[in-house]
Structure 1
Amino acid sequence: MGACCSCQMGVTHRGGVSYHHCSRHKDKNGQVLAIGNRGARVRLQGSTKFVSMFTRQGRKGTNQDAITVWEDFGGNSGVFYCGVFDGHGPSGHKVSRYVRDTLPSKLSWLFIDSHVHGKAYLKHDHGSDDKVIDVSDSKDPVLSSWKTRIAKSFKEMDHDLEANSRINSYTSGTTCVSILKHGDNLIIANLGDSRALLCTIHGDELHPIQLTVDLKPRIQSEYERIKRCGGRVRAMGHEPSIYPVWMPDQDCPGLAMSRAFGDFCLKDYGLISVPNVYYHKLTNQDEFVVLATDGVWDVLKNDEVVNIVGSVKKRSMAARFVVDYAVQAWRHKHPGLKTDDCEVVILFFKKRPSLAKSAPEAEAANLSAGPDSDLVNGK
């Protein structure tokens, strides 16, 4: 089944999303909206002129993924917040939805509270337009300030989750990849192994730029931190290519990422909730950004994803096309495995898409028929 709007939205502190709004606000297309702080419009599905969203449950049980887009974020017209959350563990679906509903409010209030810093940031010249800046390596005081504020909000989010007695997050958690777009400024915060991908045009060709690093335990710096804290990183016999994180004296929980919200059984053993933060100054060559869970990236390459999105004539179908391609690729590449949940948010930067090479009409028609078509994609 495709995505449907969830009304499991709780009240967040300082004017966040409230449950009763979720069933009372609809856009002109009848899609359900919620109202966030300072009038931000919150979407859990659907599309606008600039946004396409879609999620499909895999064959592993409950769909543990969650997505959201906040328009006019922080009460600022034209500002977008987009987030993708990949839950895992017995209560992963509850964790991902709780973080989805709570984290944006924390980030938006930090954005408001740092109004002076925000103005300085938005006017700052960071050099090369094509450069994606790792804020951790930047000596710019404004970017460093934003890194500190974002890290603080993630830390508070993790504390709130641990204190929530209604959600058992001891062996459950969620990743998070999110972006904040204000004018030509793009801030990316990543926690875990979901991914943000930028599409830019070089000549007549679509070109992918990976904005984040998949934070897996095998990355040297992540591995060393986990080992220093007493955690274990090792593969099991039935999955020799995957190196999860384990507790020092128990073969659990076997976490396939090195950073996440929740999973408090591992927080003393190297798992952290500190995001990597990046900055990119958008140019006229930049077309869109794709956020997706690892269910997509495990089977599709970056260039395949940007070409799929670039081939879709109707923007509202773009996220679904990526998900459908991923599902078909799962069945082709991993016929013996259960398909993972797949979730995509696409934020377009321009009112009209640039001309790009389109997939054949027959192929696009087969794909739009859904994941049960015989077409094999992702080659």
Structure 2
Amino acid sequence: MMINSMDPTISSSPSVSNCRQTARCSGKLDVTLASRRRAELRRLKVKSNGDDCLTKRRRLENHNNDGKYDFDFPQQSCVIGRRREMEDAVSVELGFVNVNNDNTRKFDFYGVYDGHGGSRVAYACRERLHRLLAAEMKIGMGEVNWEKLMVESFEKMDEEVNESEVVGSMGSTATVAVIGEKEIVVANCGDSRAVLSRGGATVPLSNDHKPDRPDELERIERSGGRVIDWNGQRVLGVLATSRSIGDRQLNPYVIAKPEVTVNKREDGDEFIILASDGLWDVISNDLACHVVRKCLGGRIIFQKSTQERDDNQYKTMNAAKVLTKLAMARGSKDNISVIVMNL
């Protein structure tokens, strides 16, 4: 049988020119993708400076003591990132409680809440958790038992959420910091995180609650639950954190009891970073502290100030924004919420 060498249905080995042409196309494709990535970053930057629908996309949710949203309020930055819905919430309540009623023991409250299944539990925590804690602190005047206060406040928050039929299967992590003149108290329930920079060293103030953490895995299995690898280690193949507020259907495997750390303030304390896992998934503790240190030193500036404002407040706000932008650039696929507390 004779075979026509010109038959287009018969494949032949690629020629050198074809290989070169393919290589050039591949190179052009890489350049195109890089160009699109730069355009996307520029688009996000434009949106971060806009308002109305543009502001909704970036979803900055700065919340001050008056209950109003102030996009220039220092310390915090929240972005929706690559998610369709914003499920994070943050809370900054300066002087939220005065234990002795004589202004001698005032405390500031900071909280980061990472919702899942919806935003309602995170938003409820933002509005209520600091109030529950303040009420508990006023009841226990005198020496403060921080672990007892935090555990009771988180449990009450969990009860309130689970009694609501509207919430359904939603839940939220909660990582809060209470800062006084003498102490730094952090309560963590979930996989958000608090990190302290002290004398140039990075000091973790919380330990992520992941289902594959040995002690958490043992607790879940002892309660009759299982951890299943379903796009990552998850409780019953559903939830990627082993502790949260809400998640009624996953009790008793997922609990709302926080782990509490109490540290005395020292002269070398510089700042604290409180952030959701949208940041920590792509940025290490050391790198985050390194970036904030440079921002507070004025060596990294995300956006120059066009208004008269306190320089330290501006640098703190700048540091929070730089961290969110860096996490986006590093490919974070989650909502990103960051609070920076300059000590």
In which range does the TM-score fall when normalised by the shorter chain? 0.7 to 0.9
Instruction: Give the deviation of 1:301 after TM superposition.
Output: 0.7
- TM-score computed with the length of structure 1 as normaliser: 0.66
Percent identity, aligned pairs only, is: 29
CA distance in 1, matches of 2:121, 2:316: 30
Deviations 1:261-316 (A, max 9, x none): 01111113x21100000011111111000000001000001111011111112222
Measured against aligned partners, the alpha-carbon deviations of 1:99-122 in whole angstroms (never above 9, x if no partner) come to: 11111100011111112123xxxx
Moved over 3 A (4+): 1-6, 32-35, 42-48, 75-78
Say if 2:320 is the partner of 1:319. Answer: yes
- Please state which structure has a larger fraction of its residues in helix: 2
Change (3 A) 1:110 1:163: same
Contact preservation (8 Å) 1:43, 1:68: no
Letter in structure 2 aligned against 1:116: G
Match of 1:214 among 208, 212, 233: 208
Does structure 1 residue 179 correspond to structure 2 residue 169?
no
Alignment partner of 2:158: what SS?
A: helix
2:109 aligns with: 81
Instruction: Identify the match of residue 60 of structure 1 among 67, 83, 90.
Output: 83
Secondary structure of residue in 2 paired with 1:259: coil
Root mean square deviation of aligned Cα: 1.9
- Residues 195 and 273, structure 2, Cα contact 8 Å, conserved in 1: yes
Structure with max Cα Rg: 2
1:55-114, CA deviations, whole angstroms, 9 ceiling, x for partnerless residues?
00022211100001001111465521000000001xx21110011111110001111111
The answer on whether the counterparts of 1:46 and 1:52 sit within 8 Å (CA) in structure 2 is no
CA contact (8 A) 1:179 1:189 kept: yes
Q: 1:190 and 1:45, CA in 2 relative to 1: closer, same or farther beyond 3 A? A: farther
Alpha-carbon contact 1:289-1:346 (below 8 Å) kept: yes
- In the alignment, structure 1 residue 340 sits paired with structure 2 residue 324: no
Question: Where does residue 198 of structure 2 map in the other structure?
Answer: 200
Q: Residue 245 of structure 1 aligns with which residue? A: 235
Q: Scaled by the length of structure 2, what TM-score is found?
A: 0.73
Count of aligned pairs between the two proteins: 264
Q: Distance in 2 between matches of 1:34 and 1:52?
A: 13
SS at 1:79 equivalent: strand
For structure 1, list consecutive stretches of 5 or more residues without a partner in the other structure: 7-31, 36-41, 119-144, 332-338, 350-379
Displacement of 1:146: 2.4
C-alpha contact 1:300 1:326 (8 A) present in aligned 2:
yes
Instruction: State the Cα distance separating 1:47 from its structure 2 match.
Output: 5.8
1:69 matched to which residue of 2? Answer: 92
Q: Aligned equivalents of 2:69 and 2:229: distance in 1?
A: 36
Matched, 1:151 2:151: yes
Give the partner amino acid of 1:286.
D
2:188 and 2:259 in contact (8 A); partners too: yes
Task: Specify whether residues 256 and 5 from structure 1 end up closer, same or farther in structure 2 by C-alpha distance, changes over 3 A only.
Answer: closer
SS of corresponding position for 2:97: helix
Equivalent position of 1:162 in the other structure: 162
The residue identity in structure 2 corresponding to 1:2 is R
Give the conservation status (yes or no) of the 8 Å contact 1:47–1:53: no
Unaligned segments of structure 2, at least 5 residues: 1-56, 299-314
2:119 pairs with 78, 93, 96, which one? 93
1:319-340 CA-partner distances (Å, limit 9, x unpaired): 0001001111116xxxxxxx21
> What secondary structure does 1:153 align onto?
helix
Structure 2 equivalent of residue 2 of structure 1: 58
